[in-house]
A and B are shown apart, each in its own frame.
Chain A
Amino acid sequence: MHKAEKVWLTLSFGMIIGFMLITGYQAFAKDMGPPSYGERIDPQKVDETAPFDNPGVTQIGENEYEVVMTLQVFSFTPNKIEIPAGSTVHFTMTSKDVTHGFQVAGTNINAMVMPGYISKITQKFDKPGEYLVLCNEYCGAGHQMMSTTITVK
């Protein structure tokens, strides 16, 4: 084996291990892991199951809000959310029908929302403005209309 080959293999290996370590550090030490909440729900009884029997925005602390949201073809409930700048928002979501995606353009919010499972994701909104919320998993004929906004004031 040539010296150059050894150097290359070492660099390759080091790069991949580096990615691993940084990913692990971010996930477990900095709490930046991907949305992984595990609770289940009966997808045919979402409207009767708490907390989804009462979807909406609730203030749960100073600058802290919980959004309980259902996704269904082709809308988000609640929609047109308004929150003050600097708030931390915890989203708790599930789907009433097919697989949907929950994405907020301009943020790192990105989660699959699937029937039978509850998805949770948290985001701090510092910058005021109107954020576009859209479904990023194909869910049917009106998929391209499935959107709403979060207004940060």
Chain B
Amino acid sequence: MEALKSYDWKDKANKALGISQEDARITKSYLSVAFIAILFGGLLGLLQGMNRAGILELPVWANYYKVLTAHGLLLVVVLSAFFTIGYFYAGLSHTLGGLLPKVRKMAWIGFWMKIFGFVLAVIPVLQGDASVMYTFYPPMAAAPMFYIGLVFIVLGVWMLAFGAFINVANWRKNHKGQHIPIFSFFATGVFVLLFFGSLPVAIEVFYIIPWAFGWIETINVMVSRTLFWAFGHTLVNIWYLTAISAWYVFIPKIIGGKRWSDLLTRVVVIALVIMNITGGFHHQIVDPGISESVKYMHVFMSLAIGFPSLMTAYAMFAVFEKTARKKGGKGLVGWYKKMPWGDVRFLAPFIAMAAFIPAGAGGIVQSTNQLNQVVHNSMWVVGHFHLTLGMTVVMTFFGVSYWLVPYVSGRVLTPKINKLGIIQTIVWTVGMVLMSGAMHWVGLLGSPRRTSYSTYFDNATALSWDPYLFFLAIGGTLLMIGVLLQVYAVFYMMFFAPKGETEFPMAEEEEDATPTPMWTERWGLWIVLMLTLVSMAYVIPLVDFIVNAPPGSPPFKTW
């Protein structure tokens, strides 16, 4: 907290650039939707956990698969996207001297398109006409309204992406020869990925809609599945890139230090942008119809993403140690005592980072052919993405909320809310570790994902999973308590906390930092490289699926 009090002239300059009321309203609206989504999504998650533990039989109108589809949509599509947009738009406004009036309008159009799309998609889900999970693999066919809703969500995302591009391009035009401020650099990377990553799913959905209406009789299942995963994995890596933006840009300031090498930071962003989309193929390692050599090429494409993450791991711990030693920390590991453990803005993202050590290792397991075969579609995978998204990403978002919400609301983080945040962080950590740990383990034993409670006709193997599955209910209950605390904290800070000024805690570079070369700004080149890599990865399998297509599949409603 001490860092808050030590101002220098740059802080004052930042203050002067503070967010306008109109821009703040955009971020507040996006964050409100995000945290309402986690409230409902979390509740549905608890119901599933109780069911899987065998202690709650869900009624017909709240069928497990309906609940699971809604849980996935609320958390993967609503929470993450709305938080990311609200967060980066606040940053664009702060670092680029405010949003352009045109961009502000686009942000609102995008907001309502996304809400409208979500309502369209969720109606058939609630009616039981779209229990297809958020992956909606054909030939399972939901009601056409579900897909039309998805179209509006994607169009909304594009509106936001282009808004961000226009604002960044305008700033670049007026600041020739300068680097985009680092936070807007992250934002550019995220919106480039959101746009290009959602292209494949847009194509998929445009081709599902006439099939769902019955205008065309059959669909090519492998083409749609491949297009889905070109998008699906990019999406989760976008949330990850969003989380690391907070680690690189804000955490050093919160602990009273300086940013790690600006060049390395920008290289990590560029690498993640270029290499991300092709990573999705590891979801198809045990699929038929793809040759072993193509699958092997894709192991490299997926594993390559691990490299920038390992660079990030180094950078983070280097910043921690450097800062702590400056404050008088001593010894090989003794410096850790100098970290601000009592500050939730640090503690939550720190645990998020620590969680990425096992989470990232699990990711490497899943993208390696033979290991993937052991865990594919088992509860292990569910444990993995609750560790990556549920801890690494979401706990970073929580940590950010303790300064971002007061910042956009013109209020302050009170010591009481900070304490509540610490308790929330502990509850969430314990809940997630128990739940995700049990999921990983029971997955190795063979328990499948996306399956309601089943003893498989009292099969001994299936019955032996029950003790592990019980932890899903314990973890789920703790997480629900965590959700309630977090949502309370967010809305308290937004509407009731004492008024005051909260800074946008952007860390500075080291005084003696070497200037970053200008080639890092060549976004056109990064996009071309990304598209080249995407074509290398996808042209061969997609052309093969289309040219050597089997007769297609008619729609099925199997629920």
Contacts and interface: CB of A to CB of B under 8 A. Distances in A.
B310 interface: yes
Interface in B48-95: 63-65
Given A26-B369, A117-B222, A140-B558, A34 B286 contact: yes
Contacts of B118: none
Nearest to B453: A144
Interface stretch (A50-58, A59-67, A82-90, A98-106): A98-106
B289 A117 contact: yes
Contact of B461 (A23, A108, A132): A132
Given A32-B370, A43-B553, A110-B373, A97 B139 contact: yes
Contacts of B553: 43-44, 115-116
Given A40-B550, A106-B461, A144 B452 contact: yes
B448 A13 contact: no
B304 A36 contact: no
Contacts of B450: 137-138, 143
B307 A13 contact: yes
A137 B456 CA distance: 15
Given A20-B303, A144-B452, A132 B370 contact: no
Contacts of B496: none
B292 interface: yes
Contacts of A68: none
B459 A73 contact: no
Contacts, number: 212
A148 B554 CA distance: 27
B123 interface: no
B373 to A, nearest CB: 5
Contact of A114 (B221, B374, B454): B221
A44 B445 CA distance: 35
B303 A19 contact: yes
B38 to A, nearest CB: 23
B68 to A, nearest CB: 8
A111 to B, nearest CB: 5
Interface in A8-23: 8-9, 12-13, 15-16, 19-20, 23
Question: Which residue, B453, B461, B548, has most C-beta atoms of chain A within 10 A?
Answer: B461
Interface string B205-233: 00000000000000011100100000000
Chain B interface bracket (under 10, 10 to 19, 20 to 34, 35 or more) = 35 or more
Nearest to B63: A141
Nearest to B317: A8
A97 B551 contact: no
Given A108-B374, A136-B449, A144-B451, A116 B140 contact: no
Interface string A94-130: 0001110101011010111111111110000000001
Given A114-B221, A136-B378, A137-B377, A130 B556 contact: no
Interface stretch (B294-302, B340-348, B394-402, B468-476): B294-302
B425 interface: no
B521 to A, nearest CB: 22
B559 interface: yes
B446 interface: yes
Contact of A40 (B290, B452, B549): B549
B97 interface: no
Given A38-B288, A105-B461, A43 B296 contact: no
Contact of B364 (A19, A42, A132): A19
A114 B220 CA distance: 11
Given A40-B549, A138-B451, A139-B558, A20 B457 contact: no
Contacts of B286: 34-35, 110-112
Interface string B129-151: 00101000101100000000000
B456 A147 contact: yes
B288 A35 contact: yes
Given A116-B551, A140-B558, 11 more contacts: A13-B307, A26-B369, A36-B295, A40-B548, A101-B376, A101-B448, A106-B446, A117-B550, A130-B460, A138-B450, A144-B64
Contact of B558 (A36, A73, A110): A73
Contact of A147 (B318, B374, B453, B459): B459
Nearest to B462: A132
Among B457, B551, B554, which residue has the most Cβ atoms of chain A within 10 A?
B551
A97 B141 CA distance: 12
B291 A38 contact: yes
B500 interface: no
Contact of A43 (B290, B462, B550): B550
A115 B556 CA distance: 12
A132 B291 contact: no
Interface in B256-313: 284-292, 295-296, 299-300, 303-304, 306-307, 310-311
A98 B65 CA distance: 16
A34 B369 contact: yes
A136 B550 contact: no
A19 B291 contact: no
A24 B448 CA distance: 27
Contacts of A23: 296, 299, 368-370
24 contacts: A8-B310, A12-B311, A16-B304, A23-B299, A23-B369, A24-B296, A33-B369, A34-B286, A35-B288, A36-B295, A38-B291, A43-B552, A44-B551, A108-B374, A112-B284, A117-B288, A117-B289, A117-B550, A132-B456, A134-B456, A136-B449, A140-B140, A141-B63, A149-B459
